[in-house]
């Protein structure tokens, strides 16, 4: 079995190129494949390989105090879902290009998967406010599945979200809005930006869809969750639609 990991961590990186070189060396030593993005704001990781090699990689990464608390989501597949290793230095580990959206300056409130499961069943949060789920992913991802009744936006790129959200602002005003994405990284920025725009009723789903699947299963979710590798999409048991071949 191949162990697949997805992780991100926002933390100031003074020398992204140096960190990228270190990460590449660690990944190559374990014959890991996938994509790692490094920027001045942190690191974003999608890697797969033998479990022992993944554990060695994570142990080494966490020896760096900046990444001691990195949270990792795991899934398994029969074959390697990535063709090669790519380690890149970027301006952002997830491009949004909006002011007042930096997770280095703060974090929007989050809702835990167990609480969201309960809210979905109730149709409202614990104070009685109407629940509205906001999908921050693009249309290609949404085609594979989303939470039942979620507000979805006709966007191709995450950077398009602010403009696409504008016509829906009034509909969001009287609800508790839970934003979600694949693993949580996009909502780290989107929820902050929405709060800065005056939407103080916005929360982010802790761990995203994959974290929800891992902790509570698929209650309230229709379909699968698109992932960025050859597995295509995962079901609520984190099993792939397509088990890639080497």
- Positive or negative, the CA dihedral 190, 226, 20, 86 is negative
Q: What value does the mean pLDDT of the chain take?
A: 96
Cβ–Cβ < 8 Å for 79, 10: no
User: pTM higher than 0.75 for the full model?
Assistant: yes
Residues in contact with 48: Cβ distance below 8 Å, sequence separation at least 6, in sequence order? 2, 3, 4, 5, 32, 33, 34, 54, 77, 80, 81, 82, 229
Please name each of the domains of the chain with its CATH number: 2-89 (3.30.70.100), 103-234 (3.40.250.10)
Tell me what pLDDT residue 183 has. Answer: 97
Cβ–Cβ < 8 Å for 133, 168: no
Per residue in 187-241, pLDDT (tens digit) is: 999 999 999 999 999 999 999 999 999 999 999 999 999 999 999 999 999 999 7
Report the C-alpha gap between 81 and 67 in whole angstroms: 25
pLDDT of residue 91 exceeding 50: yes
Grade residue 243 by pLDDT with cuts at 50, 70 and 90: low
Catalytic residue among 36, 45, 181, 192: 181
Residues in contact with 41: Cβ distance below 8 Å, sequence separation at least 6, in sequence order? 10, 11, 12, 13, 92, 93, 102, 103, 104
Tell me what pLDDT residue 171 has. Answer: 87
Tell me what pLDDT residue 23 has. Answer: 98
Residue 187: active-site member: no
Per residue in 15-30, pLDDT (tens digit) is: 999 999 999 999 999 9
Tell me what pLDDT residue 122 has. Answer: 96
What percent of the chain has pLDDT above 70? 98
Tell me what pLDDT residue 112 has. Answer: 98
Tell me what pLDDT residue 246 has. Answer: 40
């Amino acid at each position: 079995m191949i162990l697949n990991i997805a992780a991100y961590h926002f933390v100031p990186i003074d020398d992204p190129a140096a960190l990228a070189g270190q990460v590449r060396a660690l990944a190559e030593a374990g014959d890991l494949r996938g994509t790692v993005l490094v920027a001045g704001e942190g690191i974003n990781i999608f890697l797969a390989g033998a479990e022992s090699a993944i554990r060695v990689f994570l142990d080494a990464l966490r020896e760096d105090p900046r990444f001691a608390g990195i949270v990792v989501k795991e899934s398994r597949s029969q074959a390697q879902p990535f063709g090669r290793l790519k380690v890149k230095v970027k301006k952002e580990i997830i491009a949004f290009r909006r002011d007042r959206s930096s997770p280095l300056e703060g974090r929007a409130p989050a809702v835990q998967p167990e609480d969201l499961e309960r809210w979905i069943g109730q149709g409202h949060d614990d104070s009685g406010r109407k629940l509205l789920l906001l999908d921050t992913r693009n249309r290609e991802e949404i085609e594979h599945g989303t939470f039942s009744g979620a507000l979805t936006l006709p966007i191709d790129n995450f950077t398009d979200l602010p403009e696409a959200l504008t016509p829906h602002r009034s509909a969001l005003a009287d609800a508790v809005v839970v934003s979600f994405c694949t693993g949580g990284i996009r909502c780290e920025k989107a929820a902050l930006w929405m709060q800065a725009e005056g939407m103080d009723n916005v929360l982010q789903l802790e761990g995203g869809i994959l974290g929800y699947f891992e902790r509570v299963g698929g209650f309230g979710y229709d379909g699968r969750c698109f992932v960025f590798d050859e597995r295509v999409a995962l079901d609520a048991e984190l099993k792939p639609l397509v088990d890639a071949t080497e």
